[in-house]
Chains A and B, each alone.
Chain A
Amino acid sequence: MSRWEVVIGLEIHTQLATNSKIFSGSSTAYGAEPNAQASLVDLGYPGVLPVLNVEVVRMAAMFGLAVNATVAKRSIFARKNYFYPDLPKGYQISQYELPIVVGGELFIRDDAGDEKRIRITRAHLEEDAGKSVHDEFEGSTGVDLNRAGTPLLEIVSEPDLRSAKEAVAYMRKIHSIVRYLEISDGNMQEGSFRCDANVSVRQVGQVELGTRAEVKNLNSFRFVEKAINFEIARQIDVIEDGGVVVQETRLYDSDKDETRSMRSKEEANDYRYFPDPDLLPVEIEDSFVEEVRRSLPELPHVKCARFIAEYALKEADAEILTVSRALADFYEEVAKTTAGDSRIAANWIIGDLSALLNRDNIDIQDSPITPIALAGLLDRITDDTISGKIAKEVFDGMSTGEGSADEIIAAKGLQQITDVSALDAIVAAIIDANPAQVADYRAGKEKLLGFFVGQVMKETGGKANPGQVNQLIKQKLS
């Protein structure tokens, strides 16, 4: 066992799914022409003032309640001062001393598979900066301020995470929650969900924390895991070589799979935070919090527990099915519609359907097979019209638009042969044709049963009921 313990805390930036920006009326839609969505407020023009988009307050409150945190009665916007071309005002409006969400928690599985509580320190509202474009202009830098003023909720965890895997598990949970709440689209390619990781190592048993490095701008679950693992190995190497880890900000380069120093603690900005005098404190009434609480959807962990109880699912399956609200809704509609076993419904969705969607890169909402259609297929398995094996063939047909399960079964004549006399004749023929195997079987080589069944299935084009065939062969050979 390693003598090193890893300590990780995450700062997750999630873009809130408002139509307009946090302090101006500009659209937040992604992908517009540069600076087409930058108003005078976003450009930091002389004389303009920020006005809070109250929708972000409701969204932050939803998140707070979802992670069992306190929604602060009073929170304050502050200015974080630094110069950068994509920061038009020379300061970012953020929350500092008094954030809107304080002290939450959520539960993940640790590396041993046990449930583990991760504390959430706080979540605060802030505006995003713009984007500097360095590669498109010879000798100069372009600035696109479409993103400037986009609302973000920064979610800060306590340093409770002990491995890159745990960090990813935590990040996935947060991702799932914000999407359940529909307060963020969670789109990582577009930067709507990204994180910074504070990583340090210490000797097992040591109480005080090691010196941390902050790894910036991790925008996929894979990169989070790789960057943290790189950083852990780097820090252990430094210490084992007799060096000391310095407090610094590092940037993850996904092409080279390494982290690089951006700036040391000494070079760090003094942000000179102070309350923004242009904005009033955000005062939240209890009645507002209660109203938000009533509006909360069923959360992933609650839904997961209910699926286990209501549909007799394995915990692992229930967790997979409740990762996204759309997937859970899909499952539940199938489970409620089908006359068959809800666990088999889970298997089909987690297995064949997910594989199909992944292969074609389709969201569950756009699945070519609707929940009702899938339930129709499962019903034909349940009533023995087709075997599980034939069902896969029907499923493939459904996925390419050949029709409903019933239509495909009828059109291709895939119905199981359940007529005993017809099967009887086939079984008798197979036994007659394979005297050597019959002799071996009777001498005690019972494994040969499978051989006979296989022959019968081959003969019937898979349309025989395997259970029935089994029984018939046993009868005849006994």
Chain B
Amino acid sequence: MTASKASDALHLQTLTELARGLAGGEFSSRELTESLLERIDAHQKSLNAFITLTADEALAEADLADKNRATGAGGPLQGLPIVHKDLFCTAGVRTTCGSKILQDFVSPYDATVVARLKSAGAIMLGKTNMDEFAMGSSNETSFFGAVTNPWDQKMSPGGSSGGSAAAVAARLVPAATGTDTGGSIRQPAALTGTVGLKPTYGRVSRFGMVAFASSLDQAGVITRSAEDAALLLNAMAGVDPRDSTSADQPIPDYTATLSDSVKGLRIGVVRQHFDEGLDDECGKTVKTALAALEDAGASLVDVDLPNIGLSVPTYYVVAPAECSSNLSRFDGVRFGHRADNVKDLFDLYCRSRGEGFGAEVKRRIMTGTYVLSAGYYDAYYLKAQKVRQLISRDFNQAFEKVDVIAGPTAPTTAFRLGEKTDDPITMYLNDIYTIGANLAGLPGISVPCGLVKKMPVGLQLVGPAFAEASLLSCAHQYQQITDWHRQAPEAFR
């Protein structure tokens, strides 16, 4: 295993290192962009991390960035290449959501996340593959085919932001956006040895992010270091008048507090997250990581989240309910796939949607429709909302005792492609440790903390609402004393 340094090849450098290199004139945005596009080109076939590439636009933007740099103009991400999960609307570039129904959909506008990163100077190289409408934990529900895990290409990279995670892990790009509704950033980050940050619900605007479950969805990033995640969050965070649920909260400079020590930091270790279901080796790896933080001065405190065991069933009522309604607009009338030779309106709806959506999406639409139906609403949807409040209360009580909560991100390392596709329940249980943060609207981050049988393991940190700064500094401090995040999969060094 080799750790990369700033003097390494461009693809091995972090976003922060690349920013320094660009500023110091060591290389140009065009050189950087060209070298990454070459790498993407070489590996796209085997990884399938991208749905759409925007090479020409990216090179044009790189040239512009180089020109700006010469005159001193431009934002903090000037000329840095990133990629977007194909759930973010991008003006003029198709946005498929990994679905046949939006196979040819071109949005006329940019999502707020896209616009903010663009105005900070970032260059988009392409749009990444994902589970259809972000519904899945393995990237196998994509209409464009599964993404493979760079650490072992027989394995899943996780999902739904699997393309973003694989692209960052394979050193094709330094950073990618993602979305996290139940773990869709953190779980693939864990399974690919990358950093995945899901901010507090409302920290980042949802405008232009195609909705899966509106009360749970949150945009975030997948990077190789906590420092890079802080750099990107600086550009993405903030209230958006076009999203009523975005939070009007102060935006700290997340990079400014990275060097804060973990001395005195109280880290809650959730008893329930080390119960049966967690792979033994993964459990040990996470505990080793916690011990390292303890050695660095943090104190470990056992905490209970008594209702956290109900998070998966609660999630699988709330999320499908919202998705069943959010996906109604894909009806073949105004945009997206429309069936040919329809007999009447009913036929238009049934066939356009029947042909356009994949099996998992249909399963969730049906589940959601069921739990909202007259006679079932109270027993399912309303009850799930009540449990959701209990879970939220559990977190709040835990945060009276500790500053952050830590544990495994996923119960196992990456699983084999195809292994769980016939068993949705087992697939759903892969998000057992991540879903709680979505239900409670809390920020969470997954950082690589070791390998089990040569496959990465993630350490998850969850904080109180709007405590991204302390999560990022804790993660950054951990990355100062370990080098797991510097380790690249063998075939992609």
Residues of A within 8 A of B (CB): 40, 43-52, 79, 81, 83, 85, 88-91, 141, 143, 270, 272-274, 277-280
Contacts and interface: CB of A to CB of B under 8 A. Distances in A.
B259 interface: no
Contacts of B214: 277-278
Interface of B: 88-89, 95, 97, 102, 105, 107-109, 111, 206-211, 213-215, 241-245, 321-322, 324-325, 327-331, 333-335, 345, 349, 369, 372-374, 377, 381
A51 B239 CA distance: 13
A465 to B, nearest CB: 72
Taking chain A's interface residues, is the majority helix, strand, or loop, or is none over half, making it mixed?
Answer: loop
Contact of A47 (B89, B245, B322): B89
A26 to B, nearest CB: 14
A279 B245 CA distance: 7
Contacts of A44: 329, 334
A46 B210 contact: yes
A97 to B, nearest CB: 11
Contacts of B215: 277
A143 B331 CA distance: 14
A88 B331 CA distance: 9
B244 A90 contact: no
Given A46-B107, A89-B329, A277 B245 contact: yes
Contacts of A52: 244
Contact of B372 (A49, A50, A81, A277): A81
A272 B373 contact: yes
Which are the 3 A-B pairs with shortest beta-carbon distances?
A90-B328, A277-B215, A272-B372
Contacts of B329: 44-46, 88-90
B206 A270 contact: no
Contacts of A279: 244-245
Given A270-B373, A274-B325, 11 more contacts: A45-B107, A46-B97, A47-B111, A49-B242, A50-B244, A51-B243, A51-B244, A90-B329, A91-B325, A91-B328, A272-B369
B331 A90 contact: yes
A270 B374 contact: yes
29 contacts: A40-B108, A45-B107, A46-B95, A46-B102, A46-B107, A46-B210, A46-B335, A47-B88, A47-B95, A47-B207, A51-B243, A81-B324, A83-B328, A83-B349, A88-B329, A89-B328, A90-B327, A90-B329, A90-B331, A91-B325, A91-B328, A270-B374, A273-B372, A277-B213, A277-B214, A277-B215, A278-B214, A278-B244, A280-B245
A43 B334 contact: yes
Contact of B209 (A40, A47, A50, A51): A47
B62 to A, nearest CB: 27
Nearest to A143: B333
A40 B329 CA distance: 12
A23 to B, nearest CB: 9
B425 to A, nearest CB: 24
Contacts of B243: 49, 51
Contacts of B349: 83
Contacts of A79: 325
Nearest to A270: B374
Given A40-B108, A47-B111, A274-B381, A83 B331 contact: yes
A272 B325 contact: yes
A83 B324 CA distance: 12
Contacts of A277: 213-215, 245, 322
Contacts of B321: 274
Contacts of B108: 40, 45
B335 A45 contact: yes
Contacts of B345: 85, 141
A253 to B, nearest CB: 22
A181 to B, nearest CB: 26
A351 to B, nearest CB: 54
A52 B242 CA distance: 10
B334 to A, nearest CB: 6
Most buried by B among A45, A46, A79, A273: A46
A85 B149 CA distance: 42
A280 B244 CA distance: 7
A49 B331 CA distance: 18
Contacts of B111: 47
Contacts of A141: 345
A81 B325 contact: yes
A83 B353 CA distance: 12
B101 to A, nearest CB: 10
A247 B111 CA distance: 46
A49 B107 contact: no
A40 to B, nearest CB: 6
B149 to A, nearest CB: 29
A281 B206 CA distance: 18
A85 B335 CA distance: 12
B9 to A, nearest CB: 36
A289 B12 CA distance: 61
Contacts of A90: 325, 327-329, 331
A58 to B, nearest CB: 18
Contact of A51 (B241, B328, B333, B373): B241
